[in-house]
Chain A
Amino acid sequence: MSLIRTQAKIPRRRKKLRLGQVALTAFTWLVVILMVFPVAFMVLTAFKTETAAASFPPQWLSPITLENFEKVFDRGFWPFLVNSVIASVGSTILVMILAIPAAYALTIRPIFKWRDALFFLISTRFMPFAAVIIPLYLLVARLGLLDNIWVIMVLYIGMNLPIAIWMMRSFLEEVPREIIEAAQLDGAGIFKEITRVVMPIVAPGAAAAALIVFIFAWNEYFLVFNLTADSARTLPPFLGSFIDARGQFLATLSAAATLAVSPVVIAGWVAQKRLVRGLSMGALK
C-alpha cells in the first residue's frame, strides 16, 4: 500500500519540479532582459533617424539607418578615438612591462620586505584622483603639458600599475616550483627563466590582466576631463559634446556612445571568466 503511494507520488512531484524550474528559468531571462534593456535601447536608438529617436511615444519599428554613425565621424570622432587608443593601449603595454618583473620579484624571488612593497603598491590604487587633482593640474600646467595625450598615458600607468602587479602576482603564485627549479638546474639565467619558462605558463593570466588594465584606462573620465581641453581629449568626455540644446541629438549621441563602448564590452565578454579574479586582486578564483 505504502509502496504504491510512493510510486504514484514521484511522477507528480517531478512534474511540479520541472514546472518550477521552467518558471525560474523564465524569470531569470526576464531579469537578464531588464538588465540589458538600457544598453539595447541605446544601440537601437543609434540606428534610428533623429526624428524617430525623438518621437514620443517611442517608435519601436522605425527604418534602420547608418546616417548617425556617418555624422559621428563627420563631427571629428577619429582624433578622439586615436587619443583613446594611444592612452589606453600605450599605458597597458607599459604597465605590463613594469608589472611582470615586479610581480616576479615579489613572488618567485621574494625580496626583503616584499609585503611592505605590496601594501604600498596596492594602497596607491585606492587614492581617488579627485583628491590630488589640484596639485596635479598645477604641476602639469607649470610644465606646459596640459592637453597632452602622453601625460594622460603616463598618469594611467600610475592608476593601473598596482592592480596589474597584484593580478600578476596571483597568477605567478601558481607556477609549479619544479618547473622553475628544473630551469635553474639547467643553468637558465633570470631573463631566460622569465621569458622561456614562466611567461608561457602565465600568458593567459597576463592577457587577462592587460585586458582589465585596458578597460580601466579606456573608460577613465576624470583626469582627461580636467587635464585636457581639445587636442588630447579621449572618448569619454567627448561624448558629452553631442548634447545639443538647439536640436535633436539622441540618435547621434547613441551612435557615438555605442561606438565608444564596443571595444571594452567585447573585450570584457571574451575575458569574463577572469574578470572576477583580476578585479578582486587575485583573492578570488
Chain B
Amino acid sequence: MVTANTDFAGNSLPKGKKLLADRYGRRIRSLAIPRALLWPALVVAIILTQIPFLATVYFSTQKWNLLRPLDRGFVGFDNFIAVFTTDELYESIQATATITGTSVLLSLVLGLGIALLLDRNFVGRSVARTLLITPFLLMPAAASLAWKWNLLDGNFGLFRWLFMELGLPVVQWNTDIPIVTVIMVLTWQFMPFMMLILLAGLQSQDKEILDAARVDGAGSLRIFIQMTLPHLRQYIEIGVLLGAILLLAAFDPIAILTGGSGGTKTLPVLLYEKAFIALEVGQAAAYGVVTVAITIVFAALLLRTVFRIFSEKGVR
C-alpha cells in the first residue's frame, strides 16, 4: 500500500532535531542502534507488501491475458476504462457495501445487546463470555462449511427440520437468499468481537458517576442514552472500522457459501475470478488498484480514530 507520509491524526510532526531525545527527554547520542532495530522489520514489510503492490500498478497498465501470452503491451489507462465502463465493478461494490455494511451494523447492534447482558454479575459470567467468543475464533472456512452443510443444507440441514417443525416454508439458503445467508454467517462470526470491544467500553465506565446520576433520579434508559452511549462512541468507532476492514477482505466464507452467486460477488471474489478464471492479468490488476484505493479510505479513518484515542488518554 502507500506510504503514510502525512500524520493521519492531524498533529504537527515534531522537528527532527527535537526527536534526538528519547521519550524521557534525554538526548540520544546515536540513532544507529534504534535504526538497526527497526530496519529489519521495515525491509521485510516493504518487500512483502510494496513489491506486489507496485507490480499490480505496473500490470494494470498492461494488456495481458494468460491465454495469449505473446499479445502483451502497454495500454495506459485502457484497463481502468474497461473496469469503470462495465457494470461488474459497481455491482461488486454494491455487493461489498451491502454485505459488509449490514454485517457490521448487525454485529454492532446485537453485540451491544449482548455486551449489556454480560455487563452485570450473574452465575457463570466468565464461562458465558468464553463460550460467546468461540464463533470469532473459528477458522472461517470451517465455520462456513459447518453452516452450509450441517445447518443450512436443503436436504438434511438442521434448519430445514426446524423450519418444518415451526410450520415455516423451507428455503434453499445459499441459492434462494444468498445475501441473507452470507450476512447471517458473517454476523455470527464477527459479533463476538464487537461484543468484546463494547464490553471493554462498558467496563471502563466510571460506576460512581452512573450511581450519582441514578441517585439524582435519572432513569436507566436516560443514563444509557446520555451517558453510556457517548462513552462508548470511540469503542463503537474502532469496532466498526476494524469490522469494515476485516469483512471487506472476507473471501472464504463467500466462496464456500455461495461462490459469489446471487449478488454476493464482493470485491475479493471478483478479483479472484478476474485473476484465476478469466486469466486477465491487466484487468485483474486494475481491479486490484481500485480495491486498494477503497481500503485506504477505511484505513485512514481507522488510524485517525486510533490515534485520537491515544492522544485523549495522554499516550502518544
* A residues with CB within 8 A of B: 21, 24-25, 27-29, 31-32, 35-36, 38-39, 41-42, 45, 54-58, 98-99, 101-102, 104-117, 119-124, 126-139, 154-155, 157-158, 161-162, 165, 173, 177, 181, 190, 215, 218-219, 221-222, 225-226, 235-237, 239-240, 243, 249-250, 253-254, 257, 260-261, 264-265, 267-269, 272, 275-276, 279-281, 283-285
Contacts and interface: CB of A to CB of B under 8 A. Distances in A.
B68 interface: no
Contacts, number: 327
Contacts of A131: 53, 56, 271, 287-289, 291-292, 295
B44 A158 contact: yes
A241 to B, nearest CB: 11
Interface in B136-170: 136-143, 145-147, 149-151, 155-156, 158, 160-161
B315 interface: yes
B48 A157 contact: yes
Identify the interface centre among B19, B31, B123, B146: most chain A CB within 10 Å of its CB: B146
B249 interface: yes
12 contacts: A116-B4, A123-B4, A124-B1, A124-B49, A131-B289, A131-B295, A132-B292, A135-B58, A221-B252, A250-B156, A257-B142, A283-B238
Given A226-B272, A264-B137, A121 B131 contact: no
Interface residues of B, number: 115
B80 interface: no
Contacts of A138: 55, 281
Contact of A133 (B114, B118, B272): B272
Nearest to B18: A112
Contacts of B302: 126
A39 B160 CA distance: 18
B211 to A, nearest CB: 16
The CB with the most chain A CB atoms within 10 A, among B44, B55, B160, B291, is that of B44
Given A131-B287, A254-B146, 11 more contacts: A28-B128, A36-B131, A38-B143, A110-B23, A114-B19, A116-B3, A126-B298, A139-B52, A236-B141, A260-B139, A279-B242
Given A38-B146, A116-B4, A124 B117 contact: no
Contact of B52 (A27, A58, A136, A181): A136
